[in-house]
Amino acid sequence: MEKTNGLQQLDELIASVWKEIFDSEEAKKYSSTLMCKDKRLYAIYLVQVYHYAYHTARNLGLAGANLFNRDLKLMHHFFGHALGEVGHEVMAFNDLKELGIKLDSQDEVPPALPETEIMVAYVKNLSISEKPYRCLGYHYWIEQPYNYINSFMQAMELTMGLEKKQMSFYKQHAIIDQKHGSDIQEIVAEVCKTDGIMAEIMEVTRTSLWLMFDVLKRVIQEFILLSENKSDRYAILNQIPH
């Protein structure tokens, strides 16, 4: 679709925030660690993916059922998107098992890091708030991150020697999200009819991107603890050859 001025502004914001993140001292500090050969680092990241993916369909459903929303197109979008996200956490669960972790059920997946819980709670709060349309600011960028993360994910895949079956969540979403990205562009263009609404969505975009960076920073910190045998939270990941 031809992008409106509002969508162009949103894309420019996303590009600028990603640049801020990649240019930050913290990102540079952790870049070498992220490129290590230890698959346990990837597994800690996958645990976070499992937990936020588990909530994605549910939070979208809450937004669709939000009684403050009287926009039928937006309601239809939330429910339709929620249906498309149902069960995607199972891909992350299976990826964890393919890495060599013995998990008999999803109940055995290690707990989320606090930063992941904060990000999930933030999106849930947007979904049940008086302005549920604001959560589009989160879903817009998380459905379309590939221009920014592809090179990193490919480098990690090569360095760690990851197999395709161990990256099903990432690889399948790169295909699935092509449609989701198009759908969300259309609904954002439909909803953002005023500068005020666009400003609110852009604020959520910036905030949620930085929250995700907080998650990634904590993943690195937890990996360091695990490599030093100081992480009880993720000791089960030591089943992965390292």
Structure-token pair, residue 92: 């992350």
CA 17 to chain centre: 15
> CA gyration radius for the chain?
18
Residue 21 pLDDT greater than 80, yes or no = yes
Q: 172-209 burial, b if ≥16 CB within 10 A, otherwise e?
A: ebeeebeebbebbbebbbebbeeeebbebbbebbbbbb
Query: Residue 199's pLDDT band (boundaries 50, 70, 90)?
Result: very high
**Domain with residues 5-229, CATH architecture:** Up-down Bundle (1.20)
Per-residue pLDDT at 154: 85
Residue 107 pLDDT greater than 70, yes or no = yes
46-65: pLDDT as tens digits: 999 999 999 999 999 999 99
Residue in the block written with tokens 């609110």:
200
Vertex 49: Cα angle to 151 and 231 (nearest 5): 105
Vertex 199: Cα angle to 73 and 14 (nearest 5): 90
